[in-house]
Amino acid sequence: MPQDINYFIGNPDEFPILREWDFFNHAGVSPLPRRASDALRQFAHQAERQVYLFSNWYDDIEKLRKTAGRLINAHRDEIAFVKNTSEGLSTIARGIDWNAGDVIVTTGVEYPANVYPWMEIERTHGVKLVRVPEETCEDGVVRVKLEKILEAASHPKCRMITISSVQYASGQRHDLHALGQFCKDNGKLFCVDAIQSIGVTPIDVVAMHIDYLAADAHKWMMGPEGIGLMYVRRELIEKTRPLSVGWLSVVNPQDYGDINYTLKPDAGRYECGTYNVPGLLAMKASLDLLETIGIEQISKRLRHLSGYVEKGLREKGYQIVSPRGADEWGGGVSFTTTKHDQAQIVAKLRKEHKTEIALREKRLRISAHYYNTEQQIDRLMARLPEG
């Protein structure tokens, strides 16, 4: 049975940030829950006094691999741990055999982690990267339209669609089911940068026909920076070369003297060397917490909180940029004003009120997480100038 989410809402024992800040930048970098920082402290304590002796670190890492798989409905064999989203997407980009003239379709508003790896493939392999632009609708909301993505991907030489599940600057959540079904029906690869959705909205790599996925832990998963996960569909592992290969990539990594270069048959081949053990242990604590509560509960709570933010912003006179429909909303709400210097709004909130929001692509952004309270949002709205 999932644990009641209400226990965690506004609970400073679970989320110590509540004692210090009204924090609304989980789409940027999330504060650690208590249990994740406890995992770091426990690791440091043990490493200081016993090194690896009597530890169960690697058993816990294997448990994390299974938990991460369950989080996105993947098998543990399809999960690899990476330093960050960029490393995961670069591994995918460099691991595929591209042909000159191949087309890769993405949007024109991706975070650089999902742009530069493909630009490098364009530069080195003669492929064409097509970036479908964002459009401003009559109500001021911005979208990259699904039909325009599918139109670009209908090019006979399109090999892949690669897209963020939720756009970082607009908060638009894409229809991964429709995109994945299109790719499956038309023999194209489907790659997802899921950093803005894992932990707050359900991701199902099977139902969405996702071939590749990468996500860092430090946003909605509430893990530490510098650790994340990569998913490669089992049938594609043999067709996707590792970006780096090392002692941990092979079938028998502990046989140091018996050199036998046989890559692991699963996604473990993409992990070339010694793990970031403390990062993984903290990530495990955070993902265990998400699983204890349940993504469905978290998603329902975030839908409510982001709607509460939207209502408050409209009452203050701000222009909402983020799509807010039932199938489009994300955890962050982006908005604008022409009456004030937006950077100064962010700076004043931080300096004078210990309240944190973000500024991305000339848009202000509020991204609460499930433990934030309506009272915190009320305080934020009171501190914002009239839009």
Residue 254 — very low, low, confident or very high, per pLDDT cuts 50/70/90? confident
Note the pLDDT tens digit of each residue in 308-331: 999 999 999 999 999 999 999 999
Report the candidate in 262, 257, 239, 223 with the shortest Cα–Cα distance to residue 82.
223
Phi, psi (deg, nearest 5) at residue 322? -75, 135
Rounded CA-CA distance 295/286 in Å is 13
Q: How far apart are CA 309 and CA 366, in angstroms?
A: 8
Domains along the sequence of the chain with CATH: 5-31+294-383 (3.90.1150.10), 57-292 (3.40.640.10)
Higher per-residue pLDDT: 112 or 258:
112
pTM of this structure:
0.97
What distance in Å separates the CA atoms of residue 43 and residue 22, rounded to the nearest whole number? 29
Residue 235 makes CB contacts below 8 A (sequence gap 6+) with none
* Whether the Cβ atoms of residue 364 and residue 380 lie closer than 8 Å to each other: no
Helix axes 295-316, 277-293, angle to 10 degrees: 80
Residue 108: which pLDDT band, with cuts at 50, 70 and 90? Answer: very high
Q: Residue 59 — very low, low, confident or very high, per pLDDT cuts 50/70/90?
A: very high
Residue 82 pLDDT more than 90? yes
pLDDT at position 363 over 70: yes
CB 312 within 8 A of CB 256: no
pLDDT of residue 1: 67
Backbone angles phi, psi at 32, to 5 degrees: -80, 140
Pairing of strands 228-232, 212-216: antiparallel
**Strand pairing report for 212-216 and 142-143:** unpaired
CA-based nearest residue to 301, from 33, 5, 1: 5
